[in-house]
Amino acid sequence: ACNACSSSHYTIDMGENKMYLITGGAYQGKSNYAVSVFKFENNSIVDGKTVNFEEINKYLCIKNFHILVRRMMKDGKTTEEIKIIVDSLNENTVIITDEIGNGIIPVDQFERDWREQTGRICCYIASQSRKVVRLTGGIPVIIKDESK
């Protein structure tokens, strides 16, 4: 578990309390960016590949959010149920996700549904976020910044 990332250890100065979304392609430096901006230690970022669903709201930083969505869908959760889980997150949560909607459209129906629902959920998170940053080639591009 990642106790260093729990809300009792970090406060993130983002102005008003709102989420922070970091997105981009695979291996574009998203986690490194989060570490540099928020001073997280690499081992203090909880991984969506393995985190327990019931404990997700205990953390301030979730990487591989797209994999977490996949796991929740495999568990039978609908998009609306996943949005409710997102709403239960700490209001200063940093969410790190891969962009998965580009490229070849998958043949498998579940893969197409996962891609679509992850996109819809990330749009919802972006609408709820104070800041949205896209990384490409390790370079952050600010898409949304309501902190000013």
Both tokens assigned to 7: 């809300």
Buried b (16+ CB within 10 A) or exposed e, 9-21: ebebebeeebbbb
List the strands of the sheet with 46-47, edge to edge.
46-47, 61-63, 94-98, 19-24, 129-136, 139-145
User: Tell me, what's the pLDDT at 8?
Assistant: 35
Q: Which pLDDT value is given to residue 55?
A: 85
* Distance of alpha carbon 143 from alpha carbon 41, whole angstroms: 25
Using alpha carbons, select from 48, 71, 75 the residue that is nearest to residue 59: 48
Q: Do 131 and 145 meet the contact criterion of CB atoms below 8 Å apart?
A: yes
Residue 99 confidence (pLDDT): 95
pLDDT per position in the chain (148 positions), as tens? Answer: 333 333 333 334 444 558 999 999 999 999 999 989 998 865 678 999 999 988 888 888 999 999 999 999 999 999 999 999 999 888 889 999 999 988 899 999 999 999 999 999 999 999 999 999 999 999 999 999 998 6
The pLDDT, as a whole number, for residue 107 is: 95
- What's the pLDDT at 11? 39
pLDDT at 50: 96
Joined together, the tokens standing for residue 140 give: 């952050």
Q: What is the pLDDT of residue 5?
A: 36
Runs of H (alpha helix) within 8-147: 30-38, 65-74, 79-88, 109-128
Q: What is the pTM of this model?
A: 0.85
Q: Which residue has the tokens 């406060």?
A: 11
Please name the helix (run of DSSP H) or strand (run of DSSP E) that holds residue 22, with its range, or none: strand 19-24
